[in-house]
Structure 1
Amino acid sequence: MQITQEEEEFREYVATRGPALLRAAHQLTGHPLDAEDLLQNALTRTYLAWDRIADRGALDGYVRRAMVNINISQWRRRKLEEYPSDELPEVPWEPSETYGEVHERLERALSRLPERMRAAIVLRYYEDMSEPEVASTLGISVGTVKSTVSRAMAKLRSELGISAPPQR
């Protein structure tokens, strides 16, 4: 079976950018296995559209947008899996934290954000995209990106017990 030039380009792209895209998918889903499924679905869509993507420099944006869209679609179809309870769970005591523990707390706090907030934070700070790039990727205005990121950061700070930085 002969591999075409397009298939070879796609394989090279996945080999090169796969780990970074998987990290972005993990930040969007909050779970490693869901991230793998999300990335697989996004790469399938990308492969099917490969010959229509003229600007190869925009591939990361195309895949990220596909991941955000797929994740939102899956989230909307999901049934409510959490139910209110009369009893609050015990809050575990945590000794002084290492870097890994802080990272885990941040991951948990990030996973509890609403989908749009999580996507905005991941794209802005993990993928280091500018506010206009995030706006374009999510299909929202720059002002909405700013307010969404601001509210998400406030929620993260509150959940992690971090005070807000001083106002300029």
Structure 2
Amino acid sequence: MTREKAQLKPGVLPPFQALIDAHWRDVARLARAMAGPVDGDDAAQRAWEKAYAAYPKLTSAKNLRSWLLTITARCATDVHRARKPQRPLDEAPPVAVEGPEATDFPDPELWRAVNQLPERQRFAVTLKYVGDLDHHGVAAALDTTPAASRRLVSDALATLRSKLGVDDD
């Protein structure tokens, strides 16, 4: 555990700067993974703005990291929604929503496959493995249940294994 994270005590709200110092890397990494390298910084900045506005109203310091990553995931989701056409679906031609470029990550083949997943599966697997959230945190970020979160992640992993030719053994 880093020195910054060790300073945060459960039950006591730290100064907001201490929260930033402890979690800025996690927020930036998740925003970039979900919104892409171009929009990731904007999504992270928006997440910090929302967190700062909501911080005085918090009554518990329990699981502040999950709280921040949930806000980050929602801000990244807003980026994707803003990219979609604003016309009724029956009139709109199909539009591919761009995610992060595969070459921006260590395993380009894997990230190409992740980018091809349906949006909710892509977000679920990113929150789980990039954001390092448990299924309760993923569920909170996606406004679903932990069981549905497990299913989304499981389906995403099955699709990725199939596309990449990876055995479950």
Same structural fold, with TM-score higher than 0.5 when normalized by the shorter chain: yes
Shift of 1:38: 0.6
Determine the structure 2 residue equivalent to 1:90: none
* Count of aligned positions: 141
- One-letter amino acid of the structure 2 residue matched with residue 149 of structure 1: V
1:9 is aligned, of 15, 30, 33, to 15
Alpha-carbon distance in structure 1 between the residues aligned to 2:79 and 2:146: 25
Tell me the distance in 2 between the aligned counterparts of 1:36 and 1:56. Answer: 25
Partner residue, 1:39: 44
Query: Which one of 94, 104, 114 corresponds to residue 110 of structure 1?
Result: 114
Q: How does 1:89-168 map to 2 (within 5 A)?
A: 103-163=107-167, 165-166=168-169
- Structure 1 residues 112 and 160, CA gap change in structure 2 (3 angstroms): same
Which whole-Å deviations, capped at 9, do the CAs of 1:24-56 have from their partners, x for residues lacking one?
112212x22311111100100011112112323
Superposed CA offset, 1:110-130 (max 9, x none): 222222112211222233333
Contact (CA 8 Å) 1:121, 1:152: kept in 2 or not?
yes
Task: Please list every run of 5 or more consecutive structure 2 residues that lacks an aligned counterpart in the other structure.
Answer: 1-13, 86-93, 98-103
Q: Counterpart of 2:55?
A: 50
Normalization by structure 1: what TM-score?
A: 0.70
Larger Rg: 1 or 2? 1
1:63 partnered with 2:68: yes
Q: TM-score, normalised by structure 2?
A: 0.70
Tell me the SS of whatever aligns to 1:49.
Answer: helix
1:81, distance to aligned residue in structure 2 (A): 4.4
C-alpha RMSD over aligned residues: 2.6
CA, structure 1 residues 81+144, in 2 after alignment: closer, same or farther (shift >3 Å)? same
Distance 1:36 1:154, change over 3 A: same
Match of 2:32 among 4, 26, 29: 26
